[in-house]
Amino acid sequence: MSFESLGLRTELLRAVSEKGYNNPTPIQQQAIPLVLEGRDIMGGAQTGTGKTAGFTLPLLQRLMSSTKPVKGRRNIRALVLTPTRELAAQVAESVQTYGRHLPLKSTVVFGGVSINPQKIKLIKGVDILVATPGRLLDHVSQRSVDLSKVDILVLDEADRMLDMGFIKDIRKVLALLPKQKQTLLFSATFSGEIKKLANDLLKSPALVEVAQRNTTAERVTQVVHPVDKKRKRELLSLLIGSENWRQVLVFTRTKHGANKLAEQLDRDGISAAAIHGNKSQGARTRALAQFKSGKVRVLVATDIAARGLDIDQLPHVVNFELPNVAEDYVHRIGRTGRAGNEGEAMSLVCVDELKLLQDIERLIKREIPKVVIDNFEPDPTIKPEPINKGGRGRQQQNSRKRSGNKPGASRNSKGPYKGRSNNQSRSGNRARQGA
C-alpha cells in the first residue's frame, strides 16, 4: 500500500516523500482513513510504529478541508496533549514537517522555558497547538489561549500522562473544549483508568491496534546480564568499550543515579550526558542534540525520556536499573528497533531486582534470555535488599537470544538466577527473536 492510496492531498504526499517515506506503516494504514472519516479513535501501538504521522497527516488534511480564509486572529482548531516536553517537541516537529506546504500555523508549549515567547505566538493565533497539560493550564490562567474552537483533540501517550498524575489537569482542559469534536486517544497500554477516560471522551470509537498490548517490538533483541549491583558500572563500561558502541541510551531509576553514572562513565573515558526532570530544558535539549550528533556516546536518562525520544536507528538501550513499573520496560526498550530497524535491549539485573524482572516477563509473556559474563558472576551469598521505589513505586500495584559477540559469555548462571538462565554462545550473526 502507498500513501497515495490513503487519499492524502498532494501537499502532504510531497512532504512525506521529502521525508523519505514511501509506504505507510500498519498503524498509518489503519488510522489515517478512519481519522479522515471523522471517526473517534482508540489506538494501541508499540512505540516506534509511526503513530505520530498516523494522526498528524489526517489531522492536517481535515483542518485544510474546513479551512476558510483567515480574517483576524487564527483560532486553535487542533490540540495535541503529550506527557513530556521531549514528546511535545517531537510531535510539533512532525506537524511542521508534514505541514510545510500548507498554510496552517502551529506552535508548541511546555514548561521549563520562559512562558512569554509562547504567549506572543498564541496571542497572534495558531491553528494547531501541541502542549503538555501543566503549561497549557498556565496559559489558560493567563488568558493567552482560547480552546473553545477546538475541532480535533489528540491525547498522545495517554497512559503515560495518567502515570505522571496528569488526570486532574487533563479533565480541567477537557472542560474548556467544545462537546462536539473529534477525539483521538493513543496509548501503549490500556489500563482500567485509560478505558474509563476513553468511555468518557470517545463516541463510538474505532479501535486501531497493530500489536498485542504490552508487547515488545519484534526487531528488538533482549537479554539480561545478571551482575552484582556494585559491579554494574564496571560491566557497562566494559561492554561499551569492548563492543565499540557509539550510541547507547541508558536508563536509571533516579535523577541522582543518572548524574552519578554519567560522571563515572566520563571518568572511564566514555563521553556521557544525563537527562532528567531536574535539568533545565536548555540542558536537556543540548544533551539530546549532542547524543544525536555523536558528540556524546552515552545518554543516561530517567523514565522521563522513555517516551518522546525519537532517535533514528538507535542501536542500543541498556536498563542499568530495571524500572519500578513493568510497563515502563516496554517504553524504554521501544527507543530502539524503531521504524523497521533492528535494535538491542540489555538489562543489568542484580539480586534486588529479581521480582521486578519477574513482573516484566509476566507482562510481556516471555522469558528474557539470561547471559552471565565471565568474571562478573553474581555472588550467590548476597541477599536482596529493598528497592527505594520513590514516586513511581506507588504505581507498582497496577503493574502486576541474544547470541552475540559479547566477551566471555558464561554458559551457566548460579545463585538466585539458577533455573532462569538461557545462556547462549556468541556467533557472528545475532539471533533475532520475535516478541
Helix and strand counts by DSSP (H, E) for the chain? 14, 15
Q: Which tens digit of pLDDT belongs to each residue from 112-132?
A: 889 999 999 999 999 999 999
Residue type at 326 in one-letter notation: A
- Provide the H-helix boundaries in 227-325: 232-243, 255-267, 281-293
Q: Which tens digit of pLDDT belongs to each residue from 366-417?
A: 999 999 999 999 999 999 998 876 544 434 334 333 333 444 444 344 455 5
Whole-model pTM above 0.75?
no
CA distances from 154 to 28, 59, 173 (A): 15, 9, 12
Task: Check pLDDT > 70 for residue 28.
Answer: yes
How many degrees, rounded to 5, is the angle at CA 194 between CA 190 and CA 196?
Answer: 125
Task: Check pLDDT > 80 for residue 424.
Answer: no
Out of 109-113, 127-131, 262-266, 424-428, which region has the weakest mean confidence (pLDDT)? 424-428
Out of 48-57, 117-126, 294-303, 424-433, which region has the weakest mean confidence (pLDDT)? 424-433
Closest Cα partner for 118 from 95, 135, 103? 135
Contact 153, 128 (CB under 8 A): no
Closest Cα partner for 429 from 236, 217, 221? 221
CATH number of 220-417: 3.40.50.300
Q: Which tens digit of pLDDT belongs to each residue from 49-84?
A: 788 999 999 999 999 987 665 566 789 999 999 998
Confidence of residue 31 (pLDDT cuts 50, 70, 90): very high
Residue type at 314 in one-letter notation: L
pLDDT at 211: 58
pLDDT at 72: 65
CA distances from 227 to 113, 348, 388 (A): 40, 6, 19
CATH number belonging to the domain at 4-209, selected among 3.40.50.720, 2.30.130.10, 3.40.50.300, 3.30.2320.80 = 3.40.50.300
Contact 26, 209 (CB under 8 A): no
Task: Check pLDDT > 80 for residue 435.
Answer: no
Give me the helix-helix angle, 116-124 and 133-141, nearest 10°: 70
Domain boundaries, the chain: 4-209, 220-417
Confidence of residue 157 (pLDDT cuts 50, 70, 90): confident
Percent of the chain with pLDDT over 70: 83
Q: Which residue has the cell 545475532?
A: 430
Report the C-alpha gap between 127 and 106 in whole angstroms.
6
- Strand 316-319 versus strand 220-226 pairing type: unpaired
Beta bridge partner(s), residue 182: 152
Task: Check pLDDT > 90 for residue 162.
Answer: no
Task: Check pLDDT > 50 for residue 100.
Answer: yes
SS3 content of the chain, % helix, strand, coil (to 5): 40, 15, 45
pLDDT at 213: 53
Is the Cα dihedral 205, 210, 211, 214 positive or negative? negative
For residue 382, give the DSSP letter: P
The average confidence (pLDDT) of the chain is: 84
Averaged pLDDT for residues 17-41: 92
Q: Which tens digit of pLDDT belongs to each residue from 186-234?
A: 987 777 888 888 888 899 999 988 755 555 556 788 999 999 999 999 9
Are both 4-209 and 220-417 of the same fold? yes
pLDDT at 399: 37
**Dihedrals phi, psi of 137, to nearest 5 degrees:** -70, -30
Rounded to a whole number of angstroms, the distance between the first and last alpha carbons of the chain is 25
